[in-house]
Structures are given as structure tokens and as C-alpha cells.
Amino acid sequence: MVQNVQNIFNPGEFRGSSDFDIRQQLNANVVYELPIGKGKPFLHGIPGWANEIIGGWQVSSIMRLSSGLPTVIQGNYTWNTNYWQNSLAIATAPFTRQIGYDNLGNPSLFANTDAYNSFADQFPGQTGTRATIRVAPMTNFDIAVAKSFALPWEGHRIQFRAEAYNAFNTVNFTNSQIRASPSTPFDVRRVPKYDATQGGAVRFTI
């Protein structure tokens, strides 16, 4: 969630980590051609028809692991300090970030919904807290399997690929709605609430 300066007369009050501050990130790209078939270390003497079946296979993967982005906790007031942003919560007591499920069984950054009591809403004239907490980290593995066939023209070939995005269907929570307020009329307090997840997809290409 992109945040602008809340108090233009004192921008330093809203000092904090930028919205795109990823502290740790690992990106890796791996391409491996199976050493089987003509011109390869194994089974290099097989007939041409057999090489069309077991030769020319390639496996690749793009891996990404990153820590969570900083975000704010929304308040309940509107335009209380300026006419651009709603209010933000301010931490009034120590709190512990614990990624997992809360005591109600919901995905959360807190172990217990009582974390609601550690925050106060921003009153008129105050400045809410920037980068109050970091959301869950992200893990993603894209995997592809490719098969190449040599064409009659020298140096030409055709390749068929099957690609799986988020191949292990890892749940990555997105669009976090973190609000220091009851989420239902029955005063069931959830901090935060995630309203979307990122799933996997498979496609085939030539």
C-alpha cells in the first residue's frame, strides 16, 4: 500500500521504511539439459528415432524467495490530518509479529486477536505510523520442461515447452487488509485480514 506524507508541515513525522523495502531477496535461474542422446555423454550411440524420443530434454526453474514488505495498519477516521489520506493506527504497546494463524484460525500476522489492543487510531492533527509491520514473505518456484527437435535445416530446431508458474502452489498472501477495527458487527477483531492469495498456473508453448 503506497503511502504519502500525512503532515506536510512536518514530513519527518512520517519517516519510515519505503513501501518497496525488501530486506532479503534471493533470485535464482537454473537451466539443465539432460545429458542423454546424440552428442551427449550418455546413450550417444542410439538410433535417430530413439534420439527423437529421449534426447533434447531440458529442465529449467526460476526461484524467488523474499522477505515481507512493510505496510501500515489502517485506522477508521477519514481526512483527520489532511484531505488526502485516511487515518493510520499508532502502536501504543509492544506487539509481536507471528506469521501463521491466529486464535480464530484465520491467516494473520499476530497469534492472537488481542493484538488489536496494542494500537490506537490516529486523532485529528496526529500523524499515523509508517511501516508499522511487515507482511508475510513470498516464496515462488516456476518450473519448465522443454523438448527440442532438430529440423532438416542446419542449426534450426523446434522446441515444445510446458511451464508451471508457482509449481508447488505455494500460498502467498496478497492485498493485505490490515485494519485496527472490528471486522464484523459482532466485534470479531482480526488484525490483519488477507483477501487474496496467489495461486499457480500451467501453460504450454511452442
pLDDT per residue over 90-128, tens digit each? 888 888 888 878 888 877 888 888 888 888 888 888 888
Residue type, 23: R
Closest CA to 191 of 76, 20, 23: 76
CA distance linking residue 35 with residue 193, whole number of Å = 49
- The predicted structure's pLDDT at residue 183: 52
The answer on pLDDT for 182 being more than 60 is no
The answer on pLDDT for 6 being more than 80 is no
pLDDT per residue over 71-85, tens digit each? 888 888 776 666 677
Is residue 107 within 8 A of residue 173, CB to CB? The reply is yes
Residue 106 C-beta-side C-alpha neighbours within 13 Å: 19
Nearest-5° angle of CA 168, CA 169, CA 172? 120
Is residue 57 within 8 A of residue 33, CB to CB? The reply is yes
- The predicted structure's pLDDT at residue 206: 53
* Mean predicted confidence (pLDDT) in 53-82: 86
Residue type, 127: T
- Three-class SS of 57-108: EEEEEEEEEECCCEECCEEEEECCCCCCCEEECEECCCCCCCCEECCCCCEE
- The predicted structure's pLDDT at residue 45: 86
How is residue 49 written as a grid cell? Answer: 528415432
CA distance linking residue 132 with residue 117, whole number of Å = 15
Dihedral of the alpha carbons of 168, 169, 175, 177, in degrees to the nearest 10: -100
- The predicted structure's pLDDT at residue 139: 92
